[in-house]
Amino acid sequence: MSYCRFENTFPDLQDCFKALSNEGLESLSETEKKYALKLIKVCRDLTDDFEDEMGTNGN
């Protein structure tokens, strides 16, 4: 179902971001912390790889 992959993932990613912003990594179990750090790395990679695609408006 690649046609809705990003649409379905976006709310989950926002939820993860809010949880980390509100509670921080310290509140996570070791396993969740490990995967949170992996997710942060993927987000950085996405940002680096697609920075030019974002243009100036970021939408």
Residue 57, domain member (yes or no): no
Residue 25, domain member (yes or no): yes
Residue 28, domain member (yes or no): yes
Residue 49's CB: how many other CB atoms inside 10 A? 9
Pairwise pLDDT comparison (3 vs 1), residue with the higher score: 3
Place of tokens 């695609």: 53
Percent of the chain exceeding pLDDT 90 equals 80
Query: Does residue 40 have a pLDDT over 90?
Result: yes
Count of the separate structural domains present in the chain: 1
Pairwise pLDDT comparison (2 vs 22), residue with the higher score: 22
Residue 58, domain member (yes or no): no
The pLDDT confidence band at residue 54, using thresholds 50, 70 and 90, is confident
Residue 59, domain member (yes or no): no
Q: What is the pLDDT of residues 8-34, one digit of tens each?
A: 999 999 999 999 999 999 999 999 999
